[in-house]
Amino acid sequence: MNKYESVIIINPSVDEEGVKNLITKFTDLINTDGKVEKVTELGKKKLAYEVKKNKEAYYVVINFEAKPTLIAELERNYRITDDVIKFIVIKEEE
């Protein structure tokens, strides 16, 4: 299994409970075929540029181990979740 880091930028209009639900949804998906090592909630931050008419957003960083096949499914879930504005998944070098 490879190590990955995923940064998710969530719509600022989502309440704190909604953010927790999204984090749980994504960590449960990762845990089906991998292992979440750490979830860091960075809170609301100002965006460098406007994204989907938002000037700020809620940032979450997830560090995890998974098989490469899981990444496509995870990114698909990010795309179909309306509250996720942007995301990136990076493979960490050993």
* Structural domain boundaries in the chain: 2-91
User: Does residue 93 have a pLDDT over 90?
Assistant: no
Q: Phi and psi for 93 in degrees, rounded to 5?
A: -75, 145
2-91 CATH choice from 3.40.50.300, 3.30.1490.110, 3.40.50.720, 3.30.70.60: 3.30.70.60
- Give the span between the Cα atoms of 94 and 87, in whole angstroms: 22
pLDDT in the model for residue 20 = 94
User: How many residues are recorded in the chain?
Assistant: 94
Average pLDDT of the residues in 17-21: 93
Question: What tens digit of pLDDT does each residue of 36-86 get?
Answer: 999 999 999 999 999 889 999 999 999 999 998 999 999 999 999 999 999
